[in-house]
Amino acid sequence: MIAQDFLGAIRYRLPDDLLRPDSAMKKRIGIDELQPGMLVEKLDRSWLDTPFFRHTMTITSHQQIAQLKACGVQTLIVSFHPEEVADPPAVEQDIAVDTALPATEDTASVPSIVPFEEELPVARQVYQAAKTIVQNAMHDTRLGRAINIDAVGQIVSEMTDSVLRNPDALSSLSRLKRFDEYTFYHSVNTALLAMSLGRKLGFDRSALHLAGVGTLLHDIGKMKIPLEVLNKPGRFEAHEMEIMKQHVLRGVEVLTSTTGLGDSYIQPALEHHERVNGAGYPHRRAKQEISQFGLITAVVDIYDAMTSDRCYHKGRPAHEILQLLYRLSLEGHLDSTLVQHFIQVVGVYPVGSIVELNTGETGIVKQINHQAPLTPIVLIVKSAGNTLLSSPHEWDLSAQVETLHRNITVILDPHQTGIDPTLYLDKKAA
């Protein structure tokens, strides 16, 4: 069952923080002076240009030094302090400032955390506005006009605020999809999922904004693909697939020539089809050559694409695609750490999942529970006798006090149940 498949991923945790005493002495040294055991505080380039993607790291081997040299690092700042600092997976990003599109709000301000139910109506409005913005951007691109990058920056700032206020509200809307407007919805979903994952990784406001802009525009190159290929109601022939693959470099061309965006913003468009094992396209880059933004976009792009209805296939249930991502990470296609974090972000039972309870009732997952992933909040819509309820009722599986405890036994295929989760969860945004 899915609970067993992901048990290891669910239990995976990162340290809450990296503690660096202010009393530590710092010194700039040359790369040839670097030795194992030294704590690196800063490089002469962005950490995104290295395989490590850290804010700081303790050097544990000569191989790490060689990797830094290979990335062109010449000088770096190290900290001399008797206490050792652990070397966990990426908790915080150190991203070079890209002034081409600054966040429209004060990057030092962090909105106050608010409850899920309070943020959800705001998140709905932001989601629909983002869909309109990306639709306009793609329309302009197809007509050869410049993208309104100020509008893109503004909406991503609003998305950033929403993710910072409550990381679950906006990401829960990724279930919203429309077959006839797949490209627009997919772009928004990829962006909000990437930003939610970035929030989980500890990205600051500037990094979230970078991730949001880049992923919102990651498929802009599809507007340069002939419509007869892009909208073909069936699987691509080999030559058609080669044409489709051109959307990556065409997108980079559009973003470079019409927006003035820097490299950090363009990485999602360039690298979302690259794979950790070097089997992707267009440049067959391996993990150490792919930015963290590219690695993140690859994960969320597959998840949303595979859970969406397309011209040639029905979207598959979210839990099946989480299993697929987990398997792809084990096989070396995707970054395993990012996949584990992503599973924690969307939940073992993602919002919108249709589930059967041990009571025989049918419910829709309304809100995930990060503290107890197997016990989300469920909206019960069918009785044990398979009768639709005129008044569905909410049930928090983690807060049960009576003798009969409800729990999830089976995840159902929405196409077979005839239940549309959107009609129950988000009528205003449908």
d(CA 183, CA 41): 41
Both tokens of 288, joined, read 């150490």
CB atoms within 10 A of CB 280: 20
Using DSSP bridges, classify how beta strands 362-367 and 377-382 pair: parallel, antiparallel or unpaired. antiparallel
What's the pLDDT score for residue 23?
45
- Among residues 178, 183, 276, which one has the least CA distance to residue 221? 183
Q: What is the pLDDT of residue 92?
A: 35
Task: Decide: residue 232, CB within 10 A, 0-12 exposed, 13-18 middle, 19+ buried.
Answer: middle
Q: Hey, where are the domains in the chain? A: 25-80, 116-346, 354-429
Q: Give residue 38's pLDDT.
A: 86
Class of domain 116-346: mainly alpha
Please state, in angstroms and rounded to a whole number, the distance separating the CA atoms of residues 175 and 187: 13
Q: What is the pTM of this model?
A: 0.75
State the chain's maximal CA–CA distance in angstroms. Answer: 73
User: What's residue 341's pLDDT?
Assistant: 94
Helix, coil or strand: residue 247: helix
Omega within 30 of 0 (cis) for the link into 121: no
- Which is it for strands 75-80 and 362-367: parallel, antiparallel or unpaired? unpaired
- pLDDT (tens place) for every residue of the chain, 430 residues total: 444 444 444 333 333 332 233 445 778 899 988 988 888 888 887 766 676 655 577 887 787 888 788 778 889 888 864 443 334 333 333 333 444 454 444 444 677 889 999 999 999 999 999 999 999 999 999 999 999 999 999 999 999 999 999 989 999 999 988 877 888 999 999 999 999 999 999 999 999 999 999 999 999 999 999 999 988 888 889 999 999 999 999 999 999 988 888 888 999 999 999 999 999 999 999 999 999 999 999 999 999 999 998 777 788 889 899 999 999 999 999 999 999 999 999 998 999 999 999 999 999 999 998 888 889 999 999 999 889 999 999 999 988 776 678 999 999 988 888 898 988 887 543 3
Amino acid letter, residue 182: Y
Q: Which two tokens stand for residue 322?
A: 């989480």
Nearest to 61 by CA among 77, 37, 94: 37
